[in-house]
Structure 1
Amino acid sequence: MEFEKKCVHYSDFVTYLESDMSEFVLPCKYRMGKMLHYTSRTTVREGIRRSDKSTVAIIKLSGVTFSVERARHVYKELILLKKLHHPNVANLIEMYSPQNSAESLNEIYVVLDRNGYTLSYLIYINFKLSLPNLSFVFYQLLAAVNYLHSQRIILMNISTETVHLETNDHLKLCDYESLMGAKCTFDDCPATLQIEACKTVDMQSIGFVISEVVLGRKVDDLSPSTAREYFGDDNFGAIDDRFPELTQIFTASNAYDLICMSLRDYQSESPVSFCDAVQHSFVARWYREDEWNATFNNCEYNWHYDIHEQSTWKSKISLHYCTLLKKYKHNRSL
Structure 2
Amino acid sequence: MNNHKRFHTLPVYDQRFHTNYSFTVPKRYSNLKFINGGSQGVVASADDSVDKRRVAIKKMHQPFVIPLSAKRAYREFVLLSSVKHPNVGNLFPVFIYLSNKIKTIIQTFSVFTPQDSKDTFQDVYLVMELMDHNLHEVTQHLALDHMKISFFIYQILCAVHHLHREGIIHRRMTGYVVTRYYRAPEVVLGLPYSEKVDVWSIGCIFAELINRRVLFPGRDKVDQWNKIVKVMGTPSEEYISQLIEPIANYVRAVPYFSAIPIEEIIPDSNFLQCTERADMHLTANDARRLISKMLAFDPNERYSVAEALQDPYVKRWFREDEVNGPLSSTRFNWDAAETDCSLAELNSLIFDEVKRIESTHDVFGGL
Decide: shared fold, TM above 0.5.
Answer: yes
Residue 133, structure 1, aligned to residue 127, structure 2: no
Name the residue aligned to 1:306. 339
Superposition TM-score, scaled by structure 1 size: 0.73
Structure 1's 233 and 109: CA in aligned 2 closer, same or farther, altered over 3 A? Answer: same
Q: Give the partner amino acid of 2:114.
A: P
Name the residue aligned to 1:284. 315
Aligned partners of 1:286 and 1:302: how far apart in 2?
32
Structure 1's 317 and 199: CA in aligned 2 closer, same or farther, altered over 3 A? Answer: closer
Name the residue aligned to 2:117. 101
Any idea what SS the aligned residue of 2:272 has?
A: coil
Q: 2:138 aligns with which of 104, 115, 122?
A: 122
Q: 2:329 aligns with which of 289, 293, 297?
A: 297
Aligned partners of 2:350 and 2:315: how far apart in 1?
46
Any idea what SS the aligned residue of 1:286 has?
A: coil
Please state how far the C-alpha of 1:288 moved relative to its aligned partner: 1.1
Name the residue aligned to 1:152. 167
Please state how far the C-alpha of 1:248 moved relative to its aligned partner: 4.2
Q: Percent identity?
A: 23
Name the residue aligned to 2:42. 43
Name the residue aligned to 2:271. 236
Structure 1's 316 and 28: CA in aligned 2 closer, same or farther, altered over 3 A? Answer: closer
Please state how far the C-alpha of 1:85 moved relative to its aligned partner: 2.2
Q: 2:215 aligns with which of 206, 215, 219?
A: 219
CA contact (8 A) 2:83 2:332 kept: no
CA contact (8 A) 2:73 2:350 kept: no
Aligned partners of 1:219 and 1:64: how far apart in 2?
32
Structure 1 stretches of 4+ with a deviation exceeding 6 A read none
Structure 1's 119 and 53: CA in aligned 2 closer, same or farther, altered over 3 A? Answer: farther
CA contact (8 A) 1:79 1:300 kept: yes
Aligned partners of 1:311 and 1:119: how far apart in 2?
36
* Cα RMSD, aligned residues only: 3.3
Any idea what SS the aligned residue of 2:37 has?
A: strand
Count of paired positions:
288
Aligned partners of 1:23 and 1:153: how far apart in 2?
34
> What stretches of structure 2 of length at least 5 have no aligned partner?
14-18, 88-103, 179-186, 217-229, 234-258
> What stretches of structure 1 of length at least 5 have no aligned partner?
1-9, 158-177, 184-188
Structure 1's 99 and 199: CA in aligned 2 closer, same or farther, altered over 3 A? Answer: same
Name the residue aligned to 1:273. 304
Residue 182, structure 1, aligned to residue 177, structure 2: yes
Aligned partners of 2:291 and 2:106: how far apart in 1?
24
Q: 1:110 aligns with which of 126, 142, 146?
A: 126
Superposition TM-score, scaled by structure 2 size: 0.68
Which deviates more, 277-286 or 211-220? Answer: 211-220
Residue 76, structure 1, aligned to residue 75, structure 2: yes
Name the residue aligned to 1:15. 9
Q: Deviations over 1:211-260 (max 9, x none)?
A: 111011123344394222132322112455xx97x744212211111111
Structure 1's 137 and 311: CA in aligned 2 closer, same or farther, altered over 3 A? Answer: closer
Structure holding more strand per residue: 1
Structure 1's 53 and 331: CA in aligned 2 closer, same or farther, altered over 3 A? Answer: closer
Q: Give the partner amino acid of 1:274.
A: V
CA contact (8 A) 1:58 1:110 kept: yes
Please state how far the C-alpha of 1:110 moved relative to its aligned partner: 0.8
Q: Give the partner amino acid of 1:283.
A: V
Structure 1's 219 and 313: CA in aligned 2 closer, same or farther, altered over 3 A? Answer: closer
